[in-house]
Structure 1
Amino acid sequence: MLLTGFITLIVIIDPFGLVPLFLTLTPGRSRDERRRIAFQASTIAFLILAVFALFGLALIEAIGVSLGAFRVAGGLFLFTIAFELVFEKRQHRKEKSAGEAVPHPEDTPDVAAFPLAIPLLAGPGAISAVILLSGNLPGLLGQSLLLMVIALVCAATFLFLSVADRLDRLMGATGRAVVTRLLGVLLAALAVQFVADGARQLFEF
């Protein structure tokens, strides 16, 4: 389950796809400045996802939504993200969101919190995923392990962004497209599993 959680989050956040966006949002910045922005964005994203991991399930239960129903809805939502990854629609949507949030990145003093942390890192897909995962990892130990998974994903994202310029040159557009499509197929399979688990829970008597 921990491996599933790590893969799910890393695919949804998609550090590979964020590399060109990160470079677009930080034009003319030095490597140290980009590393600082990447660290701040990853830290803010971790805090947001951690809050939803700890309290998101209680929130949906408080409004009368069962875990089974949320698993089905969340799985369908993650499947939509997987579809967008495979057919490269999500990358265009992220670019549009980033462009609308910061029309002129060079004039913006800091983009760590917005739009990097929110919504590019800790967006609706990642938030839904951590709530789903928290239902599969109950108890103090489970929640602690989930926080560890979120921390590892955010740390990995920071590492990718901190070397974004080198990674962009190394992978190129073709390399990023291949990796993104493969991860999209994997996320689709995980999403179907979430839906199946949720449907089973809904129809248990």
Structure 2
Amino acid sequence: MERFPAIILAGGRATRMGGGDKPLLDLGGRPMLAHVIVRLSRQCGPLALNANGDPARFAAFGLPVLADDLPGFPGPLAGILAGMEWAAAVGAATVVSVAADTPFFPADLATRLARARTDAGPVIAATQDASGALADHPTFGLWPVALRDPLRRFLKAGQRRLRDFAARHDAGRAVWKTAAIDPFFNINTPEDLARARAGPGERSSG
């Protein structure tokens, strides 16, 4: 299976956590970001980090740090665009995206995303509950770098919703059945962080 390059999206402002760098918060004795890097490095090729501000605060992780090149914190799509540009520069046709605040994402993420491709479009992750209802997790996706110009135009037009961009380009879905522990549980608040620290997922995150 091809080992795609991957971008870790850490460009948000963490307002619900009180600001600061959420990926640097402690989880099981190491930064949350360290869990993400370990899990992702087992699945993908070169990794990069999308983050804004002084990149030196992430120097210990040894990854290239890619800032948004559009003003105003446009959200995760800007990070995906940065990842597309970086992946294109290293000669890759696609890039995987993951969120830096979701440290328990599936160990088979990249494989399942790749298997869900049906054409040249993107693929996003989704979960399905016992009733059959789907919940999309579009920050986790496989993105053709050929979409970087349409994505830049989308953002410059003031569009921000990741789901809207994915739908516009007929994104496929890789679907995971909902388990007792949601693999796409993201840590947005202090309460979420407490749950992650207390839960069994932390001990198996890498």
TM-score by length of 2: 0.27
- Please identify the structure whose Cα radius of gyration is greater: 1
**Structure with a larger share of its residues in helix:** 1
